[in-house]
Amino acid sequence: MRFAHPVGTVTGLAGVFLLALLVWAAPARAFEIEDHKAYPGTGGIMIAIISTADLAVFEPFILRFQSVHPEIGIDYSVASSAETHRAIVEGAAFDVVISSAMDLQFQLVNDGLARPFRSEVTGALPDWARWRDLLFAFTAEPAVAVISRARFEGMERPRTRQELIALLRARPEAFQDAVGTYDVRVSGLGYLFATQEARNSDTYWRLSELMGRLGVELYCCSAQMIDDVASGRLALAYNVLGSYAAERIAHDDRLEILTLEDYATVMLRSVLIPAQAREVAAAEIFVDALLREGLRDSPGSWGLPPLREADEPEATAYGPIRLGPALLVYLDRLNREAFIAEWADAMVQ
Amino acid sequence: MRFLLVEDNRELAEAVVARLSLDGHAVDHAATLGEARDWLSVAEYDLMLLDVMLPDGDGRHFLSESRMRQNVPVIVLTARAQVSDRVDTLDLGADDYLTKPFDFTELEARCRAVLRRRGGLARNDIPLGRAVFAPAAGTLTLDGEVHPLRNREIRLLEVFARNPEQIFSKSQLLDRLFSQAADVSENAIEVYVGRLRRRLSGAGVQIETVRGMGYRMTAE
Amino acid sequence: MIREVLSGLRRGSIGGRLTVLLATIAALLSLLSWGMVTSFAREAAGRTQDNVLAASATSIAEALRSEQGEIRLELPYSAFAMLGAIGEDRVFYRVATESETLTGYDDLVVPELPAAPGVVATDTLTYRGLTLRSATVTRRVLSGQTPVLVSVTVAQTRSGIDAITAGLSRTAALLSVAFFLLAVALGAFAAHSSLKPLNEIAQAVGRRGPADLRPVRRDAPRELEPLLTALNRLMERLGQSIRRSEEFIAEAAHRVRTPLATVRAQAEIALHSVEEESQKQTLRRVIRAVDESSRSAGQLLDHATVSFRADALSTQELDLAEIAGRVVMGLSPTAEMKDIELRLSAIPAPMRGDPLLLENALRNVLDNAVKYSPAESAIDVTLVEDGRNYRLSVCDEGRGFGNDTLAELTERFRRGSNVSNIIGSGLGLTIAEEALNAHGGRLELSPGKGGKGACVSLILSAP
């Protein structure tokens, strides 16, 4: 049974509940939805959004959007970047696709699965934040390292990756089984961070090998990694999505962001309107609002950082990951196999 | 006076010669410029009357030539009445011009004017008793005193002086004295005769009335 | 429509024609150059894309290697990064042996592989409804123990080069328009300057006086020489024709006036020989008729001359006093015949005008005065400066004008109503007035001093 996403038909809490049951109950579903919530509007319109961003992160924006456009209802589904990509490739009926996996988003666009959209707001985006009229970035989010204050007690904070390597080498007892990072085999974002970092610097492989020797813990998602750092199970989480970390640190003083000054890998969270979108006009209004959010000058109230973050000093070493055909390189089956094999050699010892 | 008339129209030439002879002038006639040159080489003239259109050339071109040779005063007789022609003619050295057809009294007046401008010629002077009449200058000299005469007085005196003893009727005098264009009565003759008598008193000549016939000049 | 425009051009100015012609040529050249630049741009951009695609395909092919009998490939990052250089184009690729796809898009199949390994074949193909430009290169790689031919195809949409071409085409169009405008301006300038000699000749001829028929002597461009020659020939013919007609008029006048003179002379002679008063009266009438016709003919000719010269007035420096002196001298013998005294009093009066016209005007006025004055009277000719004008007055002691107004007096052919017995016509005053009007002056009639006689004044503005 294929999952046909109901749009505009299911409203209210009961609907959400039923839907959730349906999703969980479906054994041969085409893609996996992790979370879902509908925000009905006053008009008959309901746009279906599939996103990699957690509801908690996105809800403030949705509510703000609906206060301006109460007539537009929003059906928000959360999925992993790989599932999100698959949903669109398989033709699921979504009106907006939001993902942090730039490479997968680019592949959708390259394969002709996006619908062109041009507006005043898309015109205002910097060149690097947009690919043709198809794919638009609305955040610039660096990958960061998060440490546990308690476990770093008395230790000097390393300022570069070289210093981090030196510290890990010097104090293996303190970090044994206490370092976490993405499992690139399951996390699209983790794979993106890893491949881009590997391309940029050879320290990545040295760090990976070191983490492998220390019995690295592998995670699917940033949130759990941060949870484990907060609890003290981990001393260090490497390549955590900076925006999530920042939000957590804001009300959790057990955590601390380790500022590595040598370089930062900056990911662009991007949005596209799929070719099969039905509520195109409403989707365009939503995308415009989202891009306007991306163009705001200061971080403000919303947790997702604006595009301006890409201009911050720590991000300037390489700039944000470029939107372009080079993103296809690590998606290549042979390349992916080769990279994962090498990664596994380093990490899983 | 002695005139040279250069005119190719024979009939006009004859009429002019006859008319001028009536006044006692001697006139030689040349029908072509060639003949005119011949006359000029053998005789001396007081005045030349020159037609401009002649069979062997333009009279105006002859002007400079003839003037060089003899310094004879020239009055051009022209059929061209336009302003520009008059100016041209005078510029070429003619002393005066007259448009055909012309009034003989006017011709005479112009001849006189030309001669007077040239200073007059003493050989044309006519002795009248003790007085000398200079028709060209228009004066009567008596007892060493020079009296200028009016035009009509000169004309009348000239008629009498050149034809002494000849009786002229009032009508004849009228025709000689006045332009035919003018409307003058015979009484005017009596006025002029009266004036001449006053001027001639003491000169030894008189204009006497021949009853029923007219007037004549006689020695006193 | 086009024929109308062409015939309009033929009638219109040469400068306009030349400009339109040059502009048309410039437009064609601009269009041509725009088309050429656009096609060059397309070709150059296409070649650039081909080169980049070839480099990309080659770098991928070079990354192919055989490892433990298996074909391995690590796609070089630069192979795809360089494809982003041209523009934001969609990229497709396929690495395949003859039997199976190793990686990339399974369905991206090029119709023809290059002739030999290492040779790059470029092609344009349609894939997923898109027009792609592709580069394919083949390479033999060991698979197990046998070498297998592996083909690498890299394809890209063409929107980048279309954008480059469109941009260059736009720039070329702007340049072409600028070139066109410049060419039109230069064309207009060239037309103007090449027509300059023609205008100069026209002005030189236009400045001439009415009777100036001398040939135009001027350095003219070779092309204008035939025109100049033709113009000079025309002037010569015109001059000849004028001379002929002048000669004709002179001849005609001579033919008419000479017999008239004969008649008049003979009538005068006859007058002396006839005694009968009635015969004398008849002869006098004959003489008067001859005089009148002669005078009328003369005045008609004068009037024609004055009208002609007044229409095309050519002025020169002159002294009105000199003219007055000449006219008075010319008419004094006539005045003397009636013992009329002509008294001239004139101040020097320099001005610009046509001396012939002014002399004619004064002569007619003075001639009239002499005609209408009684014998033994006086005529005063005075020239004074009166404010901004010269006033040249002819005052006689004659009968005056009666009740006639100036307009009536000067009316053509009209005689003064109280002078019917004196030969003459109102044409004299008409001639005078026309001559004065041509100089911006006027004629003024007024009664003489003390109510005796009349004054005719020629009023001309002093410089």
Q: Which residue of B has its CA nearest to C287?
A: B180
Q: Which among A64, A98, A113 is positioned nearest to A271, based on CA atoms?
A: A98
**What does pLDDT average to over chain B?**
83
Q: Is A251 on the interface with C (CB under 8 A)?
A: no
CB-CB contact of A201 with A160 (8 Å): no
User: Which of chain C's residues have a Cβ under 8 Å away from the Cβ of A327?
Assistant: 80
Q: Is B192 on the interface with C (CB under 8 A)?
A: no
CA distance readout (Å), A332 to A55, A336, B173, C92, C368: 31, 6, 149, 11, 125
Higher pLDDT, C110 or C152: C152
Q: Which residue of C has its CA nearest to B172?
A: C272
Q: Would you call B16 and C337 a contact, using CB atoms and an 8 Å cutoff?
A: no
Tell me the CATH architecture of domain B2-117.
3-Layer(aba) Sandwich (3.40)
Q: Which among A160, A142, A72 is positioned nearest to A316, based on CA atoms?
A: A142
Maximum Cα–Cα distance for chain B, whole Å? 54
What mean pLDDT is predicted for residues C318-329?
92
d(C-alpha B69, C-alpha B76), whole Å: 17
Q: Would you call C84 and A112 a contact, using CB atoms and an 8 Å cutoff?
A: no
Q: Which pairs from C112-120 meet CB under 8 Å and 24+ separation?
A: C113/C138, C113/C149, C113/C151, C114/C138, C117/C149, C120/C54, C120/C57, C120/C58
Q: What is the pLDDT of residues B110-147, one digit of tens each?
A: 888 888 777 666 667 888 888 899 887 888 998 888 88
User: Which of chain A's residues have a Cβ under 8 Å away from the Cβ of C73?
Assistant: 332, 334-335
Across chain A, which has 349 residues, the per-10-residue mean pLDDT values are: 37 41 43 89 91 89 93 93 90 93 92 93 90 92 90 89 92 92 88 89 90 92 89 92 84 88 87 94 94 84 77 59 88 88 87
**What is the secondary structure of C101-113 as a DSSP string?**
EEEE-TT---SS-
- What is the separation, in whole angstroms, between the first and last Cα of chain B? 26
d(C-alpha A317, C-alpha C77), whole Å: 19
d(C-alpha C28, C-alpha C30), whole Å: 5
d(C-alpha A246, C-alpha A232), whole Å: 18
What pLDDT is stored for residue B82 in this prediction? 65
From the CB coordinates, do chains C and B have 3 or more pairs under 8 Å?
yes
Strand-pair category, A130-131 with A217-219:
unpaired
Q: Is B11 on the interface with C (CB under 8 A)?
A: yes
Out of A90-99, C33-42, C190-199, C353-362, pick the least confident.
C190-199
Q: Which residue of C has its CA nearest to B17?
A: C265
User: Which of chain C's residues have a Cβ under 8 Å away from the Cβ of A111?
Assistant: 90, 128
Q: Which residue of A has its CA nearest to C130?
A: A112
What mean pLDDT is predicted for residues C371-400?
88
Give the Cα-Cα-Cα angle C306, C312, C313 (nearest 5 degrees): 75
CB-CB contact of B66 with B72 (8 Å): yes
Running DSSP on this structure, what letter comes out for residue A114?
A: B
H-type helices in C312-354, by residue range?
320-337
Structure tokens, C180:
């066109």
Tell me which CATH code domain B125-219 carries: 1.10.10.10
Tell me the CATH architecture of domain A12-139+268-320.
3-Layer(aba) Sandwich (3.40)
Q: What are phi and psi of C389, to 5 degrees?
A: -115, 160
What pLDDT is stored for residue A228 in this prediction? 93
Structure tokens, A346:
């380093």
| C residues 329-368 closer than 8 Å to B (CB) | 330, 332-334, 336-339, 356, 359-360, 363
| Domain range annotation of chain C | 1-207, 313-461
Strand positions, DSSP E, A178-298:
179-182, 217-219, 236-241, 255-258, 266-272
| A residues 67-126 closer than 8 Å to C (CB) | 109-112
d(C-alpha C246, C-alpha C314), whole Å: 20
What pLDDT is stored for residue A14 in this prediction? 40
What pLDDT is stored for residue B180 in this prediction? 66
What pLDDT is stored for residue C324 in this prediction? 93
Q: Is C98 on the interface with B (CB under 8 A)?
A: no
What pLDDT is stored for residue C6 in this prediction? 60
The answer to whether residue C449 scores a pLDDT higher than 50 is yes
d(C-alpha A37, C-alpha C329), whole Å: 130
Q: Is B21 on the interface with C (CB under 8 A)?
A: no
From the CA of C119, how many Å to the nearest CA of chain A?
A: 24
Higher pLDDT, C111 or C35: C35
Contacts of B186 (CB under 8 A, 6+ apart): B170, B171, B174
| Domain range annotation of chain B | 2-117, 125-219
Q: Would you call B180 and C254 a contact, using CB atoms and an 8 Å cutoff?
A: no
Strand partners, A139: A269
Q: What is the pLDDT of residues B12-61, one digit of tens each?
A: 899 889 888 887 788 999 999 889 888 888 888 888 999 888 888 887 77
What pLDDT is stored for residue C5 in this prediction? 61
Q: Which amino acid is at C400?
A: G
Contacts of B137 (CB under 8 A, 6+ apart): B116, B120
Q: Would you call C74 and A334 a contact, using CB atoms and an 8 Å cutoff?
A: yes
Out of A11-20, B32-41, C109-118, C275-284, pick the least confident.
A11-20
Q: Would you call A325 and C76 a contact, using CB atoms and an 8 Å cutoff?
A: no
Contacts of B35 (CB under 8 A, 6+ apart): B6
Structure tokens, A267:
């990911």
Radius of gyration of chain A (CA): 20
Q: Which among A143, A199, A136, A144 is positioned nearest to A330, based on CA atoms?
A: A199
Contacts of C7 (CB under 8 A, 6+ apart): none
Strand-pair category, C70-73 with C64-67:
antiparallel
Q: Which among B7, B43, B51 is positioned nearest to B26, based on CA atoms?
A: B43
Model confidence, pTM: 0.56
Name the residue facing C88 among A131, A326, A333 (closest C-beta).
A131
Q: Which among A53, A49, A52, A59 is positioned nearest to A92, based on CA atoms?
A: A49
Q: What is the third-level CATH fold of C313-461?
A: Heat Shock Protein 90 (3.30.565)
**ipTM above threshold 0.95:** no
Name the residue facing B22 among C261, C272, C298 (closest C-beta).
C272
User: Which of chain C's residues have a Cβ under 8 Å away from the Cβ of B184?
Assistant: 375
The answer to whether residue C407 scores a pLDDT higher than 70 is no
CB atoms within 10 A of CB A42: 11
Strand-pair category, B205-210 with B214-219:
antiparallel
Handedness of CA B61, B67, B68, B70 (dihedral sign): positive
**What is the secondary structure of C301-326 as a DSSP string?**
HHHHHHHHHHHT---EEEEHHHHHHH
Percent of chain B, pLDDT > 90? 9
What mean pLDDT is predicted for residues B94-118?
84
User: Which of chain A's residues have a Cβ under 8 Å away from the Cβ of C60?
Assistant: none
Q: What is the distance of C-alpha C179 from the center of its chain?
A: 27
Structure tokens, A84:
């999100």
Name the residue facing C301 among B16, B82, B104 (closest C-beta).
B82
Q: Would you call C159 and A338 a contact, using CB atoms and an 8 Å cutoff?
A: no
What pLDDT is stored for residue C408 in this prediction? 56
CATH superfamily label, A141-266+329-347: Periplasmic binding protein-like II (3.40.190.10)
Q: Would you call C260 and B100 a contact, using CB atoms and an 8 Å cutoff?
A: yes
Q: Would you call C288 and B180 a contact, using CB atoms and an 8 Å cutoff?
A: yes
Q: Would you call C103 and A334 a contact, using CB atoms and an 8 Å cutoff?
A: yes
Taking an 8 Å Cβ-Cβ cutoff, which residues of chain C contact chain A?
72-77, 79-81, 83-84, 88-93, 95, 102-104, 128-130, 159
User: Which of C262, C339, C368 best tests the B interface by mutation, with the highest count of B CBs <10 A?
Assistant: C262
Q: Which residue of C has its CA nearest to B7?
A: C258
Q: What is the pLDDT of residues C34-78, one digit of tens each?
A: 999 899 988 988 898 999 999 999 999 988 888 887 888 888 888
User: Which of B180, B183, B184, B187 best tests the C interface by mutation, with the highest count of C CBs <10 A?
Assistant: B180
For chain A, give the number of residues: 349
From the CB coordinates, do chains B and A have 3 or more pairs under 8 Å?
no
What mean pLDDT is predicted for residues C180-186?
90
What mean pLDDT is predicted for residues B94-121?
82
What mean pLDDT is predicted for residues B150-164?
86
Give the Cα-Cα-Cα angle B210, B216, B219 (nearest 5 degrees): 115
What pLDDT is stored for residue B122 in this prediction? 62
Q: Is C269 on the interface with B (CB under 8 A)?
A: yes
User: Which of chain C's residues have a Cβ under 8 Å away from the Cβ of A338?
Assistant: 72, 74
Structure tokens, A200:
């940029």
Radius of gyration of chain C (CA): 51
